[in-house]
Each structure stands twice: as structure tokens, then as C-alpha cells.
Amino acid sequence: MERPAWAPPGIDISVPSVSRIYDYYLGGSHNFEVDRDAARRAMEFLPGLPVITKANRAFMRRAVKFARTEGITQFLDIGCGIPSFGNVHEVAQDGSPMNRVLYVDHDPVAVEHSQAVLDGNAYASATSGDLREPRKILDSPEAAGLLDLERPVALLLVAVLHFVQDEDEPYRAVAELRDALAPGSLLVVTHASPHGVPEPPERVEGMTGVYRSLGNPLVMRAREEITRFFDGFTLVAPGLVAMPDWRPDQPDAQEDPYAFVGFGGVGRKP
């Protein structure tokens, strides 16, 4: 297998990566055949996975724009994945180049590619980190250099919490991050859910089985379970809803039923 020039040395390109599979769903080019093969196997069960992924990214962009209108100038994106068009820093810094963005991921491809994209951007950076260890993220040199935790921050946990198993205490991790944030901070979450999937349950199980086989189980949580991540936050209207229903740019613009799979919401810390 030929190693692409952009692949960081030392990574095993024969092992699929969740962030590179996601990049493939988005139509990106920073993925390997092993990632594409895994994505295609998952799509055999849920062919609309790319639609869900694109709805997720569109929600993220709207949420970042909302944060800017609320006066937020700092953004912490944990589980950022591989940068693509319209990523957080592009939206956050559009017309406000001094807004600060810190990307965090545990995938070395995502981190190295983010660093390359951000080369020359004094107000955005990327670092390696794991959502399950929030203190290490908050205490990192990159966070200390970019973020002022005495002022409001938009914390983005977009399409990442469903990769944290219950035994790894995702609610504790989010609460630890929440407690470190200043009043007025925002929490932005999207999360996979079996609700609204236009396929029978056995096909959902087939898709999650693909992710289990990769060693990255995907937890499809119910709406009530996802709402718990907003403990200590006040949900911003319209609350926790299907992603296209959260402050759409154009009402009724999205009709594909797959786009309405999963939930997105924004909460504000009082």
C-alpha cells in the first residue's frame, strides 16, 4: 500500500480511522482505501450516512454563526476531525480574524492536517487530546496560549460523544469541561440516535456492528440520554432537535429523511 505524502509518519495506514471515514462521507480526500472500505460497509446498512454527516456539518456552521452573534470570540472544538470546507475556524473568523479557535483530536492525521491548514493563522491551533481526559486538554500549552477561560467559550462536541462508551463516563467529562467554562459559555452538541432512522432496527445494528469491528463502537443514545449532556446549561431555542430543524437558514430546505437522524442542540451556561 503506497503511503500518501500527506500521511504523518508512524501511523498505520492499514487500520481504519473514524475521522478519515467521516472525511470520506463528506467527500474529502484525506482517507485511505481501508477507510473507504469501512465506510462502504457501513453504508450497506445505512446508505444515507453521508447525508447525516453533511447535515451535521451544516448544523455546526449555523451553531458557530449563532455563537458569534452572542458575542463569543473563543471556540474549543474537541473531536474536530479532519478540516474540510466551512470548518469552525473559517466560520468563526469570517470578518473577525482575531477570534480564537482550538481544535483537538486524538487522530494524528486530523491533528497534523489541521496544523497544516492553520499554518500562518496566529489565532487558531490544533493539538492532540482525548475527550475522556478533559483536564489534559484544558491544561495543554495550546489551550493556555489561545483561550481565556475567564471569558465565555463555545465548546463544540460535534459527532464525538457517540464514540465515548458509558463506561468511559462521558457525562463526567462534559461536566468537568462545563465547570471550567465561564458563565455565558455555550455547549454545542450533535449526537447519533436511533430515532428517525428510515431503516429497520436490524440495519441500524448492522451499521453499529461495523464500527464495533473497527474497535470504535458507536453508541446510539436516546434523546433523553443526549439531553443529560446539557445538565448545568440552559438549552437555547428550539432545544434539542433534529439537526436541520435547529435554526435553519431556509425553512423546509432539507427533505431527505436521513438528514433528520440524530439530534443537535446548543446550551448556555448561566
pLDDT at 4 over 70: no
Q: What percentage of the chain carries pLDDT values higher than 90?
A: 83
With bands split at pLDDT 50, 70 and 90, how would you rate the model's confidence at 102?
Answer: very high
For the sheet containing 154-158, what is the strand order? Answer: 124-128, 100-105, 74-78, 154-158, 186-191, 263-268, 234-235
pLDDT at 1 over 60: no
pLDDT at 183 over 70: yes
- Model pLDDT for residues 36-62, shown as the tens digit of each residue: 999 999 999 999 999 999 999 999 999
Q: What percentage of the chain carries pLDDT values higher than 70?
A: 93
* Average predicted confidence (pLDDT) for the chain: 93
Task: For the beta carbon of residue 115, count every other beta carbon within 10 angstroms.
Answer: 17
What sign does the dihedral 80-83-86-88 (CA atoms) show? positive
With bands split at pLDDT 50, 70 and 90, how would you rate the model's confidence at 86?
Answer: confident
Q: Which domains does the chain have, with CATH numbers?
A: 18-268 (3.40.50.150)
- Model pLDDT for residues 215-244, shown as the tens digit of each residue: 999 999 999 999 999 999 999 999 999 999
